[in-house]
Amino acid sequence: MKKMILLAALGLVVLASCKKSGSSAPITTANTITGVVDGKTFTCNERFALESYSYMNDTTTWFGFDAYAYDSSNNEFYFEADQAKKVPTPKVYGALGDSTTYAYVEFDSTSGGWWGSETKLNPTTITITSTGGQAVQGTFQGTLYLYGDSTSTNTKVVTNGKFNIPVL
C-alpha cells in the first residue's frame, strides 16, 4: 500500500512538473471540458477536477488521470486516460489494438441516464496534447452506450471533445 501511495504521489509530481509540449495556444478555455453530444454542444466548466493515480493490474503498474466537469444544468463529462508503466504523456489513448493505453469517456445527462464507453468496447479515444504548466489539455471522441452496455442500441456520439483541466 505504501508503494501505491508513493507511486501516486510521484505520478502527480511528474505530471504537474512536465514541460509544456506542442502548441502554446490552449486547446480550449481553462478549467473546461466541452463536447458535442448528438449534435448539441455542452460546455462544462463548473465543479471541475483532474486527479492523477497509479494502480497495479496483474503484474503491470498503470499510471493515469481522471477528469470531470459539470455545466450549469448539472450535465457532466468524465473521462480517464491510463498508460502502462509510465505517467501519461502527449499521445492518443485507447486506440483499438493498443494494449499499453486505456481510455474511458462518460457523459451524464440531467435528462436521464449516463452513457459511457471504453477502449475494449469500441475505439473511444482521448488525445493528450499537453501536460505542461498546471493543466492537462487534449481532445476526445467516441460512441457512448447507455449505462456503458455495449449491447445497447441506445447510443450517443461525442465529437469535438476538448479539455483543459488543472492538475490538483
pLDDT tens track for 34-77: 999 999 999 999 999 999 999 998 889 999 999 999 999 999 99
pTM: 0.81
d(CA 146, CA 139): 22
> What is the extent of the structural domain holding 153?
2-166
If one compares 140 and 22, the residue with the highest pLDDT of the two is: 140
Burial pattern 77-115, b for ≥16 Cβ within 10 A else e, equals bbbbbbbeeebbebbbbbbeebeebbbbbbbbeeeeebb
Structural domains counted in the chain: 1
Q: Between vectors from CA 26 to CA 20 and to CA 31, what angle results, nearest 5°?
A: 100
pLDDT tens track for 118-134: 766 566 899 999 987 78
As to burial, measured by CB atoms within 10 angstroms (0-12 exposed, 13-18 middle, 19+ buried), residue 131 is buried
Say what the pLDDT of residue 119 is. 62
pLDDT tens track for 79-119: 999 999 999 999 999 887 788 999 999 999 998 889 998 76
